[in-house]
Amino acid sequence: MTKPDVLIGRIALRVEGENWNAYWAMPDTMEDAIFLASIAMGFVAERKDRRDAFMTLIRECVSDLLEERLGHRPADFKTEPAPEHERTKE
């Protein structure tokens, strides 16, 4: 029997000013989100390969932390757009 998917948090990526910022947030809110990393938009805006590399780095770092704290790595990360109320307005 497989374990059901459990959402314990999420990685939120947001364009804020001149940067693309990564946060660890609870499933339904950005309140008390933890800042993880940032990269200048000038480095990634026109480069999908660099955006993908930044997202992979963040996922690997979060996976390392979860494995250290919980004893196992996430099986997968779902990718979906942020809810409308959380999107940056730039």
Q: What predicted TM-score, i.e. pTM, was given to this entire model?
A: 0.80
What dihedral do alpha carbons 53, 55, 56, 58 form, nearest 10°? 120
CB-based contacts of 32, cutoff 8 Å, min separation 6 = 25, 26
| 39 band by pLDDT with thresholds 50, 70 and 90 | very high
Q: Determine the 3-state secondary structure of 12 from DSSP.
A: strand
Instruction: For residue range 47-76, list pLDDT tens digits in order.
Output: 999 999 999 999 999 999 989 998 888 877
pLDDT at residue 1 greater than cutoff 80: no
Instruction: Please state the domain extents for the chain.
Output: 10-86
Q: What local confidence, expressed as pLDDT, does residue 56 receive?
A: 94
